[in-house]
Amino acid sequence: MLHSLLISGGAIAGIIVAVLLVILVISVLVWWVKTRNAFVRLKNRVEEAWATIDVYLKKRFDLIPNLVETVKGFAKHESETLQNVIAARNIAAGARSAEEKIAAANGLTSSLRTFFNAVSESYPQLQANSNFLDLQRQLKNIESELESARRYYNGVVKSFNTKLELFPACIIGKRMGEGYEKKPYFELESEEERKNVKVQF
C-alpha cells in the first residue's frame, strides 16, 4: 500500500513537472509570437510614416520648378541661387535610401531658405504676382505638413528602435532579418535648418 502511494506520488510529481514545463513552453511561445508581431506592427508604422514624408517631399519637389520659373522673370540676377535650388531639388528627387533622402531634404531646405532670403530682399514686386503668391502658399502648407509628418515618423522610429534594443525583445528583433535594423531619425542638421523655410515676405 505504501509502495503504491509512493509510486502514485512520484507519478503525480512527474505530471506536475510536465504540466509546468508545458505551461513554460506555451508562455515562451506566446511571448515570442506577441513580440514578433509587435515588431512587424512597428516596422509597418515606420514604413507608413516614411511613405507620408515621401509624399510631402514629392509635392515639394514638384512645386519647386514652378516656383523657380515664376521667379526667373523677376530675378534675372539670381541665376546662381536658382541653379542651387534646382540642383538641390534634383539631388533630393534622386535620393533612394532614407538616409540619402534625409540628407538631401536638409540640403534642399537650406537652398530654399537662401533662395527666399535673396528674392524677398531684392524683388519686392513678386508680392504682387498672384502665381508666385499661390506657389508660396502651397510651399508653406507643404512645409507645415512635412514638419508634422517628420514628428510622427520620429516618434514611430523611437518606439521601433527602443523595442529593438530592449532585452529580451532584442533577441527576436535581431533574428528577424532585413528591415528590422535600427531606423534613422529625420533630424535637421543645424540650428538654422530647424527653422521653417520662410515663405512669406
CATH code, domain with 180: 1.20.1440.20
- CA distances in angstroms from 189 to 45, 46, 100, 141, 177, listed in the order given: 24, 21, 13, 22, 30
* 76 found inside a domain: yes
Express each pLDDT in 47-84 by its tens digit.
999 999 999 988 888 888 888 777 776 666 567 777 88
Closest CA to 41 of 184, 175, 159, 166: 159
Range of the domain at 154: 57-201
* 86 found inside a domain: yes
* 85 found inside a domain: yes
User: What is d(CA 91, CA 102) in angstroms, rounded to the nearest whole number?
Assistant: 11
Express each pLDDT in 94-146 by its tens digit.
888 888 888 888 888 888 888 777 776 677 776 667 777 788 888 889 988 99
For residue 45, what pLDDT band results from cuts at 50, 70 and 90?
A: very high
CB 42 within 8 A of CB 159: yes
Q: Which set of grid coordinates corresponds to residue 87?
A: 540642383
Query: What is the chain's mean pLDDT, rounded?
Result: 81
* 82 found inside a domain: yes
Supply the pTM of this predicted model.
Answer: 0.74
Domain count for the chain, please give it. 1
Amino acid identity for residue 71 in this structure:
V
CB 110 within 8 A of CB 92: no
Question: What percentage of the chain reaches a pLDDT higher than 70?
Answer: 82
* 152 found inside a domain: yes
The predicted structure's pLDDT at residue 108: 86
* 87 found inside a domain: yes
Closest CA to 108 of 191, 195, 201, 197: 197
Sign (positive or negative) of CA dihedral 125, 194, 90, 186: negative
The predicted structure's pLDDT at residue 176: 85
User: What is d(CA 136, CA 66) in angstroms, rounded to the nearest whole number?
Assistant: 10
Q: Which residue has the higher pLDDT, 193 or 14?
A: 14
* 107 found inside a domain: yes
The predicted structure's pLDDT at residue 67: 80
* 11 found inside a domain: no
CB atoms within 10 A of CB 99: 12
